[in-house]
Amino acid sequence: MQAYDVAVIGVGTAGKRIIEKVSYKISNGIFLSIDDTEWSIGGDKVKEIKLNVNFERTAKRIKLEAHKASKNIAEEIMSVNNVVIVAGLGGIFGSSAAPIIAKSLKEWGKRVLGITIMPFKFEKSRLFRAAVSLRKMKMTCDGIIVIGNGEFLEKSPQTPLFKAYELENEWIGNLISKLFDRGNVYGINSKETYRITSDGNIIVGVGVGEGTGMAEEAATKASSALRRQSNADVKEALVYVVGWKEISVGDVSTIVTTFRGITCCEGDVRVGYYPNNDRSLTVYALASVMETKFDEWDPIQKILNGRELDFDIYSDMSVDYDFSGIKCLD
Ligand SMILES: Nc1nc2c(ncn2[C@@H]2O[C@H](COP(=O)(O)OP(=O)(O)OP(=O)(O)O)[C@@H](O)[C@H]2O)c(=O)[nH]1
Ligand SMILES: [Mg+2]
């Protein structure tokens, strides 16, 4: 029997698209998709679990069905300890199901890393739901990586939406595969990933560089993407450098210096290097910061401080007020 290192679970539509990419990039993993859409994932590596919410597609119903499916999910991944849950937040499905699945897998004793994709700023109606779901994921998972749609890429507003998703999914797939790449002696150990992501606010910046100066270009773009997601300085970072196999010590030094300069990071910057035959370099940076712009999408958190977060599978998102001290006038 093959021993797997990790199970990757995509929840909702974005999760399903990303898990398809990831399944082609990681050889030693178990892959599950939890969703309610009809289309089938290519290849035979992903096991699809379709939740039956056709007739009542509410947050309440999705949470209940996710809860009911949890035992089945846990059995599918029985042989692994490390689980990654990937979901785009802001829709109903992923935002409702991902925290319930995460909570249940924690109860089954798994180590859970959440990779959450936050909506574009223009998806106004989705921002609050995404931020509340993110807080639930932070409460339940051992580690969280937050990816801002749009900020993940350098700004390129002309890109058609489906292409932007396609490109982001490709990059998210690459990033996840690097997080668990144990074959590479110059890589970053996945224990490091769990350690840094348990810190709370971990954001991602990506930058591509080509031709002469590719190291500086890629590092500048990745660092600027981080700056757009947080006003705070970076505390520490893991930097995954993927591409051009002839990268020199000088290039790595340029990447670190550029990164530190733009993000004002005075802490540790660990670099992993993943060579291939590309004539370009892609820098993926996971950075720990004090606060992110996503915190502002959920103003209630400052007032209620976590009390309204509702994991009850039998209810919709609700706020519990304490009326005990109030007397009725009759
Ligand atoms: N990177 C990326 N983000 C996506 C993709 N599809 C959707 N998103 C983002 O993820 C968020 C959640 O979208 P979906 O995954 O479609 O939502 P869902 O969880 O399936 O929920 P429903 O809308 O109820 O079906 C959206 O607000 C988008 O910003 C994708 O393929 N790639
Ligand atoms: Mg969907």
Residue nearest atom 10 in ligand 1 by C-alpha distance: 88
Range of the domain at 30: 6-180
Among 326, 17, 319, smallest CA distance to 161 is for 17
What percent of the chain shows pLDDT beyond 70?
88
| Same-domain status, 45 and 81 | yes
pLDDT-based confidence at residue 9 (cuts at 50, 70, 90): very high
| Same-domain status, 17 and 138 | yes
* CATH number, domain with residue 116: 3.40.50.1440
pLDDT-based confidence at residue 27 (cuts at 50, 70, 90): confident
Question: Ligand 2 mean position to 11 CA, how many Å?
Answer: 9
| Same-domain status, 243 and 111 | no
pLDDT-based confidence at residue 316 (cuts at 50, 70, 90): low
Ligand number with the minimum distance to the CA of 116: 1
**Mean pLDDT across the stretch 14-30?**
93
Among 166, 174, 146, smallest CA distance to 286 is for 146
Q: What is the pLDDT of residues 246-297, one digit of tens each?
A: 999 999 999 999 999 999 999 999 999 999 999 999 999 999 999 898 888 8
Ligand number with the minimum distance to the CA of 131: 1
| Same-domain status, 145 and 23 | yes
The structure tokens listed for 77 are 């991944």
Query: What is the residue-averaged pLDDT of the chain?
Result: 88
Residue 285 CA to residue 223 CA, distance in Å, equals 8
| Same-domain status, 165 and 223 | no
Instruction: Say yes or no to pLDDT of 204 above 90.
Output: yes
| Same-domain status, 147 and 95 | yes
To the nearest 5 percent, what fractions of the chain are helix, strand and coil? 40, 25, 35
Q: How many domains in the chain? A: 2
Question: Ligand 2 mean position to 206 CA, how many Å?
Answer: 26
Q: Which residue has the higher pLDDT, 309 or 204?
A: 204
Question: Ligand 1 mean position to 90 CA, how many Å?
Answer: 7
| Same-domain status, 30 and 162 | yes
- Tell me the backbone φ, ψ of residue 85, rounded to 5 degrees: -110, 120
> End-to-end alpha-carbon separation of the chain, Å?
72
Quote the pLDDT of residue 323. Answer: 43
Residue 293 CA to residue 25 CA, distance in Å, equals 31
Residue 52 CA to residue 44 CA, distance in Å, equals 22
| Same-domain status, 32 and 74 | yes
